[in-house]
Amino acid sequence: MKIRAVCRGNPEVLPGKKYKTGINKIAVSGPMMVDAEGLVGDSICNRKHHGGVEQAVYLEGSIDLSWWESELGRTLPPGVFGENLIIEGLDNRTLAAGDRFAIGDVLLEVTSPRMPCATFAARMDEPTMVKRYARAARGGAYCRVLNAGLIEAGQEVAWTAYAGARVTLPEMMATFGKSLSQEDQRRYLVAPINDRWKQEIQRAIS
């Protein structure tokens, strides 16, 4: 695997919206610094739902983006989904919380899938995109940054699967907002999933 593109966004207002968003990202050339909050200089406008150390870097697999190009019938330039990284040869459906990506000195750990929102649908100019993205179960991955450093397009990527019980991204998308069995609750809470997700599960238990 290798990095196909590194993408960064600037604040802008989408047609028909009144708020600023950094969802429209554009591929950059040269090395980019990644710290605990993600790509330095990348715009995160809605801190309530996006960004933070648990969702510092958002990556998409090239296999999924190719599938979406066929599904939507158009070319998707790097960053159009709001992703920071495109990983060549990666299929999002194979990922689970705790999987790690080593890119030079940088080490990323998967925490949760990207859940689609109205801003995403507006960016894509596809009113049904939220439902289509969720139904496809090909959610990109949010990652926390375990080791900071520089990354750039063309770098090799080493993927290491989480050694414990796997909580896959498609499974997390399918169970989002739903009640979990006691067995699944334990499995989710043991895995290194996004802290926001853990808090929701713990609230449901208490």
Per-residue pLDDT of 71-123, as tens digits, reads 999 999 999 999 999 999 999 999 999 999 999 999 999 999 998 877 788 87
* C-alpha span between 195 and 190 (Å, rounded): 11
Residue 188 phi/psi, 5-degree rounding, is: -65, -40
* C-alpha span between 121 and 108 (Å, rounded): 27
Closest CA to 112 of 173, 50, 46: 173
Type and span of the H or E element at 34: strand 32-35
Cite the DSSP H helix spans in 11-140.
62-72, 118-124, 129-136
CA 175 remoteness from chain centre:
17
* C-alpha span between 3 and 157 (Å, rounded): 7
Please report the pLDDT score of residue 106 as a whole number.
97
Q: How confident is the model at residue 20 (pLDDT cuts 50, 70, 90)?
A: low
Q: Residue ranges per domain, the chain?
A: 2-205
Q: How confident is the model at residue 173 (pLDDT cuts 50, 70, 90)?
A: very high
Q: Supply the pTM of this predicted model.
A: 0.90
Fold category of 2-205 in CATH: M1 Pyruvate Kinase; Domain 3 (2.40.33)
**Mean pLDDT rounded to a whole number for the chain:** 89
How many other CB atoms are there within 10 angstroms of residue 179's CB atom?
9
* Cα distances (Å, whole numbers) of residue 48 to 16, 33, 82, 112: 21, 23, 17, 16
